[in-house]
A and B are shown apart, each in its own frame.
Chain A
Amino acid sequence: MGDDHNINLPPGFQFHPTDEELIVHFLYRKAKLLPCHPDVIPDLDCYPLDPWELNGKALAGGNQWYYFSRSTLNRVSANGYWKPVGADEPIVTSTCKKVGMKNYLVFYIGEAPTGIKSNWIMQEYRLPDSGSSSRSSKKRGQSKIDSSTWVLCRVYEMNGGSQGSFCDEDDNGPELSSLDEVFLSLDDLDEISYLPN
């Protein structure tokens, strides 16, 4: 299910990293020009793709797609454009160390500024300070980003209840129905009488 063909893993494994893992294990190494272990996230810098075209080209994991890109001012593809929304979020480790930033973009179909908002969301990850003085600028669409800076993109489509997040294929809920509760409330005579100790 979405495993990159480079990987040799038994069935059941899915790519589902945390924000911290994306930064620390992947983006950081990419920016330092170090090989990633595992080297599964492709560069899609040269291809301004519509989000629905990512399947097969980007790394897929649980209804989300991952790829590297150099940040550009205008993310324009064949049928639309990405527009930043909201403020940047810091990514902190469990030791309260800030390791990166993340911002959200929404894909609009059509030509700016009259595009129609779609359900496609991108989370764009970047390292905290890549040498640009305006890194801390929060102005949308005006960040003077070094064009050689890599960012990591996580793209997914918001639909139904699934915000592109990892959905359980099997039906886990309600985990215990009310009838299960009734069963459990019945006394279990075996366990009363026979204990391992």
Chain B
Amino acid sequence: MPEEMSISVNGQSRVPPGFRFHPTEEELLHYYLMKKVSDEKIDLDVIRDIDLNKFEPWDIQEKCKLGSTPQNEWYFFSHKDKKYPTGRRTNRATAAGFWKATGRDKVIYSSFRQIGMRKTLVFYTGRAPHGQKSVWIMYEYRLDDKTSNTNTFNSMEEMTTYEDGWVVCRIFKKKNQQKTVDGANSSSITADSKTQMLHSGKNGGLEEILQHMGWTCKQENSRRNSINITTTNNSTNYMKFHPIGTAMGNGLHVRLMQPTNQDSKTPQSLTNNGSLFDQACEVQSCYGAIDEASVTNQGSGNTNSVYDTEPNHINWTALDRLVASHLNGQAESSKQLACFNNLNMGSCSLPDHVLQLSRLLSNESYHTSQDYTREMDLWSFTHSSSSSPEPSGHI
């Protein structure tokens, strides 16, 4: 005789002992969220509504407890509608902190059909930009635009609120602090560059990008160790350099740069972050190599170009902007990065690590702009380069 086990008894949620709630992403989207947006009657006690602005993650943990089996993840519905006055960004701030989204939404499939998206967020305590990263992570699932219920909005609002509406969320604590190289993006790198660059620290993300350069630069390292270096607090990818000298390394005429203070923040000594600077210098030395080769072919006055009008100077501001805007997924930057991607098609007289970076960044781009033509001229130096970089740059 089938035994009825109700989830709700006297208004209180009751899960039978031994059972725990661990739905698949498909179940979350297709069953629970779908019913929620259609306002269908289901036993919604399993997943409760939570106002994200009112509760801290540890509060949610308490509120969304299910049954007696120990949990390490908690589920709830949330309605996204609060925005910052500036525009499209959803306000996910709480009393103690805020949820910050990573830039990459993952597509969720069911039987090879896209049914929704998943956004990853991390909880920071305090207030930006001084927030302290916590171990709390949230996966926010939303239905695919076509299937989500937006018929309450008129067509104009639909455009601006395509991410609005009900979402179903799962929060959990990060399992380990170990940094791993993202398998999809990693390319083969030399052993010593790997050990040199792979540190578990605050700058893991930038390290990953830079380590694809695979530039060992042993000669530069020994020089850099004796250089007093400062960097700005907290913004690890905004290092600006001014030349302090040049060095010969690996057959390339390399311009050695020292970072300058970007803004009024008190600079910190980089003694802890020596590795980051090493890698940043490696980036610089790579571009330094390109510098030399492109001296006369650069005629464009494009202010967004990585090269400004002065031939022997990298416009780091532009490069930073480029990387940041690309990571934020803007279309325009992807066009510019397409020029990096174009390197793959040209001859390999460029250092391989530059190609790797371009490949990495291009692969991450969500826009498929193929407008190379304007930027192609920038890189035509590949054929006119006189100093061919050492093929040991191979990775």
Q: Which residues of A contact B (CB under 8 A)?
A: 1, 5-18, 21-22, 24-26, 37-40, 61, 166, 168-170, 172-197
Contact = CB atoms under 8 A, between A and B. Distances in A.
Given A9-B7, A37-B3, A179-B327, 19 more contacts: A5-B2, A6-B2, A14-B19, A16-B18, A17-B18, A18-B69, A21-B18, A22-B18, A25-B17, A40-B18, A175-B175, A176-B102, A178-B181, A178-B205, A179-B102, A179-B209, A182-B209, A185-B202, A191-B128
A8 B5 contact: yes
19 contacts: A1-B24, A7-B5, A8-B3, A8-B5, A10-B43, A12-B31, A13-B22, A18-B70, A24-B17, A25-B17, A26-B18, A174-B180, A178-B205, A180-B104, A180-B205, A183-B102, A186-B327, A188-B128, A191-B100
Nearest to A37: B16
Given A7-B16, A178-B207, A187 B122 contact: no
B378 interface: no
Interface in B333-356: none
Given A13-B19, A14-B19, A194-B85, A183 B69 contact: no
A12 B27 contact: yes
A65 B104 CA distance: 38
A176 B127 contact: no
A181 B205 contact: yes
A13 B324 contact: no
A182 B18 contact: no
Interface of B: 2-7, 15-25, 27-28, 31-32, 42-43, 46, 53, 68-70, 84-86, 89, 91, 93-95, 98, 100-104, 120, 122, 127-129, 131, 133, 137, 172, 174-175, 179-182, 185, 202-209, 235-237, 324, 327-328, 364
Contacts of A12: 21-24, 27-28, 31-32, 46
Q: Which of A37, A170, A193 has the most CB of B within 10 A?
A: A170
Contact of A169 (B24, B98, B175, B324): B24
Given A182-B209, A186-B328, A190-B84, A16 B3 contact: no
A134 to B, nearest CB: 30
Contacts of B3: 6-8, 37-39
Nearest to A197: B95
Contacts of A193: 84, 86
Contacts of B205: 178-185
